[in-house]
Amino acid sequence: MEKFDKLSGIAAPMPLVNIDTDMIIPKQFLKTIKRSGLGVNLFDEMRYDDNGDEIADFVLNKPAYRDAQILVAGDNFGCGSSREHAPWALLDFGIRCVISTSFADIFYNNCFKNGILPIVLPQEAVDVLMKDAEKGANARIEVDLENQSVTSSDGEVFNFEIDSFKKHCLLNGLDDIGLTMKKAASIDAFEAKAQAERPWA
């Protein structure tokens, strides 16, 4: 997994609330057995018309946002299906950070497994950053994971909370499975005890 420490990038505004993972990557693209190549279909049904042509006023089709690395989104981003294809598609497009007032649980966890930083901020802060993002490519938002801060193009700083373990893994690009494997003795011991106490499981 790629490390995430600092990012200075174009932010695309998506004020819609409840953006679900079906919107982020519709089901017809889940038939892949790979993780890569989904960026072209990110937000497919909002981004392309029935003929497959780009819909000009969809935010990521606008010239200013084609290279966006950050999304500023409405509440409850990533709700619905557990599909990790959603963060895979975001990452493949080039999005490394999503900012919202809240995220759905599974999507939030999936982001951290893929080097994407989801940031939760209060409504007032998201409102400021949404306005900032609406300015287009000239407004770059800065994200600093180590210091847990987001800085608007006007220099306004917002601090965010993040779980210390998730932060550590993201900063260092660590592989969860490798970390857990180091605790194999604890798992062995637990398994032996559970087997004795609940043999039917």
Partner 1 sequence: MSPKTLYDKIWDAHVAHEDADGTCLLYIDRHLVHEVTSPQAFEGLRMAGRQVRAPEKTIAVPDHNVPTTIGRENPDQMPEDSRIQVAALDKNAKDFGIHYYPVSDVRQGIVHIVGPEQGWTLPGMTVVCGDSHTATHGAFGSLAHGIGTSEVEHVLATQTLIQKKSKNMKVEITGKLRPGVTAKDITLSVIGKTGTAGGTGYVIEYCGEAIRDLSMEGRMTVCNMAIEGGARAGLIAPDEKTFEYVKGRPHAPKGAAWEAALTYWKTLFSDDDAHWDKVITIKGEDIAPVVTWGTSPEDVLPITDVVPAPESFSGGKVGAAQRALEYMGLTAGQRLQDIEIDTVFIGSCTNGRIEDLRAAADVVKGKKVKDGLRAMVVPGSGLVRAQAEEEGLADIFKEAGFEWRMAGCSMCLAMNPDQLAPGERCAATSNRNFEGRQGRGGRTHLMSPAMAAAAALTGKLTDVRELM
Q: Which residues bind partner 1 (CB under 8 A)?
A: 15-18, 20, 22-23, 26-28, 30-35, 45, 50, 74-76, 79-84, 87, 102-106, 109-110, 113-114, 123, 163-165, 176-177, 179-181, 183-184, 186-187, 189-191, 194, 198-201
What beta strand segments (E) does the chain contain?
6-14, 70-73, 97-100, 117-120, 140-144, 149-151, 157-159
Query: How many C-beta neighbours within 10 Å does residue 85 have?
Result: 24
DSSP 45: H
Q: How far is the CB of 141 from partner 1 (least distance, A)?
A: 20
Q: How far is the CB of 8 from partner 1 (least distance, A)?
A: 27
Bridge-based pairing of strands 140-144 and 117-120 is unpaired
**Nearer to partner 1 among residue 39 and residue 74 (C-beta):** 74
**Nearer to partner 1 among residue 6 and residue 27 (C-beta):** 27
**Nearer to partner 1 among residue 43 and residue 158 (C-beta):** 43
Structure tokens at 184: 């194999």
Q: How many CA atoms lie within 13 A of 37 on its CB side?
A: 6
Query: How many C-beta neighbours within 10 Å does residue 52 have?
Result: 7
**Nearer to partner 1 among residue 102 and residue 151 (C-beta):** 102
Q: Is residue 171 exposed (0-12), middle (13-18) or buried (19+ Cβ within 10 Å)? A: middle
**Nearer to partner 1 among residue 33 and residue 155 (C-beta):** 33
**Nearer to partner 1 among residue 154 and residue 163 (C-beta):** 163
Q: How far is the CB of 1 from partner 1 (least distance, A)?
A: 9
Q: How far is the CB of 12 from partner 1 (least distance, A)?
A: 16
Q: How far is the CB of 166 from partner 1 (least distance, A)?
A: 9
d(CA 60, CA 63) in angstroms, rounded, equals 8
Q: How far is the CB of 41 from partner 1 (least distance, A)?
A: 12
d(CA 128, CA 113) in angstroms, rounded, equals 28
